[in-house]
Structure 1
Amino acid sequence: MKICVCIKEVPDSDIPSNKLQIDTVKNKLIPTENVSNIVNGFDLNAVELALRFSENHEDSSVTIISIGNNLTSDVIKKPIAMGADEIITCEDPLIEETDILGTSIILSKIIRKTGPYDIIFCGRHASDFDNASVPFGLSENLSIPIVNIVKDIKIQDQKLQMERVITDGFQKVEAETPVIVTTGNQVGDPRYPTLKGIMSASKKEITKISLNDLEISNEDINPKIRIEQVYFPENDNKVEIIEGNSTKEKAINLISKLKEEGVI
């Protein structure tokens, strides 16, 4: 079974905002010095689920696909260190300027060119802009079904049996291939790369595909959505220390203040 996982390189979501800068012309975040990018967390969950599935089915392979501009080799090779078989990238300055529609078009073209794939795994959304739209764009462009927020997947009676997360619990879904599957942290923590995996990833050649190879023009991925502004929200929270000579007096003063503010 042929499997692919779409991953995205993003700024580390755990770093404080004062370690980031905003490019006010391109309306995007710029990590400052000594702040590195990572693979989007939900995409690593997708890699983990893909590897679990592959390990239980002989003759399965897992291909990683990533697009962007000036991708960091050590970052996007992490899924290879985890156990994936190969990695395909497409890098171009135009990709940095496109929107979710353009991203979906590029990924769809790569999938068509290097596939066909039986299962296409994606993270439920990326931590940079939280659009959660690209997997659905893939479904539309490739004309194949999508199952969202899957926590487990297996084959039974020649069909895929999936358990997905819903608001009040879980739902069991059956589907035939090809299918797109999105995942989240309900999959569990992604495995740590082994030393052997890291060494193997360092030697692994990246298959590079250009927009010309995909016959994609600037017009094809010209953004239809324009980001007007990216900014850090202002924090206008105020802190007031409740004074008092004793705990009881402080409690009385606190209650008075809460009543004054209309809280109680």
Structure 2
Amino acid sequence: MTDEKAATLSRKAYEAELLRLQIELVKLQEWVRAEGARLVVVFEGRDAAGKGGAIQRVTHYLNPRVARIVALPKPTERERTQWYFQRYVAHLPAAGEIVLFDRSWYNRAGVERVMGFCTGEEHRLFLRQCPTFERMLVEDGILLRKYWFSVSDAVQQERFQRRLEDPLRRWKLSPMDLESITRWEAYSRAKDEMMVHTDIAEAPWYIVESDDKRRARLNMIAHLLSSVPYHEVPPPVLDLPERPPSTGYERPPRDLRTYVPDHAAHL
């Protein structure tokens, strides 16, 4: 993609296309619910690659009872003794549900591998078992989509700096994020090895170029929609009923309740 083409995406065009895609996502949601489908979307990539922003745009207008985000904390002592995939299985969708993994079982191939949080044998076992695990999901009827958000080192550095200076986003920056700067090549090698073993026909990896966040979001959502054979489900016919006449109910005096102060009145 040339710089000239990248520069043609204005905010107005971005917002218009994003809204169009989000309308389609609602249609996808209703199809999933009506058909009893199960959709899993895995979001992976380096720190500050734009995964969180993409997930927010995907779920913005969706029903949280249908589409839920799974972002697991570090495993407990008990979970460390379980089969590695076990705690992820508990979050897989039932019929009519969409699950978006904000990082997933691929932690073992990335952070755990590079930071030494797993042994070499545990990492090798993961690379052997992961394709089998994902084939089992697909064979059972789960729609599995895997997206890797790819960001350059220069853009990652810029985003880290902005987080450091922005009090609203400072919480996004952790010591682990800073480690990723000094271990850039180690993460690159780990990602390449992961792709060799887990980019399988049944569940391929899709790379999202994410130096341009707006473009990345549109590209990812458009691809997801194109990869699922959904169709529009006609909504139920609803008519607002007329309000019945009053039967004499009177609201209790306001001074019997505690109201939130009108902060906005002082702006």
The two structures have a TM-score, normalised by structure 2, of 0.27
Point out which structure has higher relative CO (alpha carbons under 8 A, 6+ apart): 2
- The structure where strand makes up a greater share of residues is 1
The two structures have a TM-score, normalised by structure 1, of 0.27
- The structure where helix makes up a greater share of residues is 2
